[in-house]
Amino acid sequence: MAGNNTYFIWGTEAFLIDQKIKEIHYLMQEESGEEVELLYLDGDELSPPRLLEELEFSPLFSLQRVVIIKRPFWLGKSGRKSSRNEEILKVLQDYLQRETPGQTLLITAIEHNASNVLVKLLDKQATVIECKPANPQYLANWIKDEFTARGRKINNAGISLMVKSGQDMYYLYNLIEKLCLVSEGKTIDAKDIEEQLEGRDEIKVFKLTNALLDRNLKASFQAFYQLLEQGEHPVFILFMIVRQFNSLGKVKCYQEERIDIKEISRLTGMKDFAVKKMLDQARNFTWDELQYVFKQFLDADIRLKSTGQNDKTIMEGLLIEICNKK
């Protein structure tokens, strides 16, 4: 490999790829003893001139930087022969042949398409890391460790059910977070997990909807991008967000009518813990703000289904509108 640090990280388990990125970033910071800048680039919207511009690194404001390009289309099978691919190949060839002190480039992909000329280049000149799907024993240990790190316990039957659920690690990570919120200190068992698995769609978007109800824009973007990584469609994501805000509106209304938590739980079909959490989050929105948010939902739905605009851009704008206080 040339005098620069370039990694090609591939595999179907997005969670493990993101963990590897965090690990590389952490080690760089430990070695340098200073903050290392992170720059994420959208591979699907990255033109060759823009790629060239972004890879030009001058340590003016930051002594070290990590550039991350996730799942660019030009590493797939469909782009093996195209003028754009050839231009990107030239940019990467030039970049890999020169030293770039202080900069590390990370490129990720779902598959290793050996016939792709760009993949061949990365195989030769980058550090290649394969993130294989976790085996059952690894998953079991990881699940137990995640609960322990949060000060919670789970029995062996619960661990076994989570391992056998067949869900990806991001889904399991969000499920762990929700179970810890529900458990209130007790040991989690298979019954607790079965109850949560019945609402699989809610678990998928739990991290995003929770961040939106907290009006935390940074966490909302992180959760949204994770859902896209897992292949969730923006229309489905919007549907789940709207459903959660419908629940918020109901809870807020019942709260103002001085209805107690037990009765709200009965009326909405929500668990007591979920009602308590949502009562706190309801304070983050006035009725005028909720009315504005629902107008934004309608606008986003129309644009997603009837315009040629980029779906991701539409959803990013929506998240900003929800989290910004009016």
Place of tokens 């550090």: 127
Per-residue pLDDT at 43: 77
- Beta pairing class for 103-109 and 65-70: parallel
Residue 17: half-sphere exposure toward Cβ, Cα within 13 Å: 25
Residue 172's domain is classified under what CATH number? 1.10.8.60
- Pairwise CA distance, residues 130 & 119, whole Å: 13
Domain with 78, as residue range(s), is 5-130
Q: What percent of the chain has pLDDT over 90?
A: 40
Residue 10: strand, helix, or coil: strand
Task: Say how many domains are in the chain.
Answer: 3
Place of tokens 């005098």: 3
Q: What percent of the chain has pLDDT over 70?
A: 94
- Pairwise CA distance, residues 109 & 2, whole Å: 22
Is there a single domain that holds both residue 280 and residue 170? no
Is there a single domain that holds both residue 157 and residue 265? no
What are the tokens at 164?
A: 């056998």
Residue 203, Cβ neighbours under 10 Å: how many? 21
- Nearest CA to 64 out of 95, 42, 96, 38 is that of 38
Is there a single domain that holds both residue 21 and residue 126? yes
* Average of per-residue pLDDT across 274-289: 88
Residue 74's domain is classified under what CATH number? 3.40.50.300
Domain boundary among 130, 157, 190: 130
- The sign of the CA dihedral 105, 68, 178, 198 is negative
Is there a single domain that holds both residue 227 and residue 300? yes
Place of tokens 């229309």: 235
The most confident of 43-52, 109-118, 275-284, 293-302, by mean pLDDT: 293-302
**Comparing 12-21, 78-87, 140-149, 288-297, which segment has the lowest mean pLDDT?**
78-87
Residue-wise pLDDT for 6-25, tens only, equals 999 999 888 899 999 999 99
Strand ranges in the chain using DSSP code E only, listed in sequence order: 5-10, 37-42, 65-70, 103-109, 127-130
Is there a single domain that holds both residue 93 and residue 176? no
- Pairwise CA distance, residues 251 & 266, whole Å: 11
Residue 3, pLDDT > 60, answer no
pTM above 0.85, yes or no: no
Per-residue pLDDT at 9: 95
Domain boundary among 81, 96, 130: 130
Residue 83, Cβ neighbours under 10 Å: how many? 8
* Average of per-residue pLDDT across 155-174: 89
